[in-house]
Amino acid sequence: MTDPSNKPSPSIVLDLILGFRRSKTMFTAVSLGVFNKLHDERRSSSQTLSRILNLNEDALTRLLDACVGLNLLRYSSENENELGFYENTPIATTYLCDSSPFNMNGYILCSNELFWGLWGKLEGAIREGTYRYQEAFGASGPEAFSSLFASKSFLMGMHGYGQITSPILVDTIDLKSFKTLVDLGGGTGHVAIAACKKYPDLNAKLVELPAASALAKEIIAKENLTDRIEVLECNFFNDELPDGDIYCLARILHDWQEDKVLELLKRIFEKLPPNGALIIAEKLLDDNKSGPYWAQMQNLNMLVIAQGMERTFKEYKELLVNKTGFESLMAAVTDSPLDFILATKPGRPNDLITVPRTIRVLEPSNAVKLREREIKRAELLKNINLAELFFKNASVGFAIADMEGDFIQVNEAFADIVGWPVDDVMQMNYKEFTRDIYAAEDQRQMENLRLNRSFGPFEKQYVHRDGHYVLVQVTLKMMEVNHQDCIWALVQRLRDPSGIASRGGQVLKYRDGRSI
């Protein structure tokens, strides 16, 4: 029998149980117009909002409170006995309000109305290996899939994603030596727009089906790029492809099985000039497919909604180099929802991927330079104890604690912030110098931390050894120590212009206990 005292934490399982509830909470609030209306009103009580939206007041209050817990709304009350007000957080204003150019409501509504039903039939997809339109909605796969890409809400949702990823794409791949970018299946034109904005000598051709091209023309016109981005209506599997020296396939190849992917890649290869190149923007699976999480979830998503899949870099190399004829390949793996592959034809050096700090590059072209850098780094770090350098002697506070808040390690800077010697802090629990008013906030932070593996930065007050409050900025990360989840904290002391931290005493609170 398993020793119950040695059992692992159930935190991952509990978090996954709640995962779909969090998603549906956001989906419902968007669908009912909560964030849009709060943006119009600036702030509102649940009573007023329920009357405006014609919703049950008690039920709406529960939804609003849940959105506060998800950091999508704020709640404030001047008096605990009076009704308070809800307002959007900056995250909601930016991504969940129709008035924002970065809103993702189209994709959220599509997730709520379409993907939710398809994912509810995941068991059938696993049994049969096919998408679930017929089972979920009584519609054939090709018919439903075509209608999806003709949906304005879906296209605008993809535009919201594109607002996040397309600027990263054009910052990662150097396009200044190209003349014409051809964006196949480019949706609203977000890649072409980002590329033309960054590279003033570049022109673009956006290839889309008629159902999507009208919206693309409208968005391109608003960006004043009609003279540089041409919208062409055609089917890229059947119609002749336009001329261009670099092609882009963003979120296209994962829709299709290998035979269709190869058919399209060979058509592009034949159309490109000798020094041409191809960009593929997809989320790459690790070679052993053990991650990343985003790609794994998208891999299942493609199972229930399409015929395709996410792939590894090696699988793309097989398709592009071995089976199509491209000469070389590089990939930039990013922290964004997309990674980028650059494939080049013979005649062009593969040195067009730059390396921002958040990106690691697979198969770099200049192996000699990279090896020289490794030798230089090894020489520089010889006889240096990195743990000593970065942890013990750092000017900012570092701490590692288990999931219950008991400290595993802290540095001198952290101990100095709370006023205790390191050895004493090591005998304490995080909660011993965290004020009681943060109980609800700490719980929310832990939920976000378990979900995203990181949280912050955020501000709070620590209780110093002599009783006064210390205002700090904290960033939390999840890390694994001997196969157990632990919390790594970066803590920096802040000046408190209000004087609240140094005075102590009563602090104004939101309804859920958070400091104002």
Q: What is the 3-state secondary structure of 426-480?
A: CCCEHHHHECHHHHHHHHHHHHHHHHHCEEEEEEEEEECCCCCEEEEEEEEEEEE
> In degrees rounded to 5, what are phi and psi of residue 146?
-65, -40
Which residues are marked as active site?
Answer: 254
Q: Are 319 and 261 in contact (CB under 8 A)?
A: yes
Domain with CATH 3.30.450.20 in the chain: 387-503
**Cβ burial, residue 396 (10 Å; 0-12/13-18/19+):** middle
Whether omega before 457 lies within 30 degrees of 0, making that bond cis, reads yes
pLDDT at 366: 41
pLDDT at 116: 93
pLDDT at 46: 94
**∠ CA 508-38-161 to the nearest 5 degrees?**
110
Helix H or strand E segment including 34: helix 34-41
pLDDT at 80: 67
Strand order in the sheet with 454-463: 407-410, 397-402, 484-493, 469-481, 454-463
Give the span between the Cα atoms of 162 and 250, in whole angstroms.
Answer: 9
Domain with CATH 1.10.10.10 in the chain: 8-100
pLDDT at 357: 39
Give the span between the Cα atoms of 172 and 48, in whole angstroms.
Answer: 47
Please give the single-letter amino acid code of residue 480.
Answer: E
> What is the fold, at CATH topology level, of the domain defined by 387-503?
Beta-Lactamase (3.30.450)
Domain with CATH 3.40.50.150 in the chain: 158-373
Give the span between the Cα atoms of 86 and 55, in whole angstroms.
Answer: 16
Q: Are 152 and 106 in contact (CB under 8 A)?
A: yes
Q: Are 72 and 35 in contact (CB under 8 A)?
A: yes
pLDDT at 145: 63
User: Strand 469-481 to strand 454-463: parallel, antiparallel, or no bridges (unpaired)?
Assistant: antiparallel
pLDDT at 61: 96
Domain 8-100 falls under CATH 1.10.10.10: yes
Q: Which of 80, 6, 14, 91 is nearest to 443 (CA)?
A: 14
Give the span between the Cα atoms of 274 and 341, in whole angstroms.
Answer: 19
> What is the fold, at CATH topology level, of the domain defined by 158-373?
Rossmann fold (3.40.50)
Please give the single-letter amino acid code of residue 37.
Answer: K
The low-confidence residues of the chain, meaning pLDDT below 70, are 1-6, 80-81, 140-150, 347-393, 482, 495-516
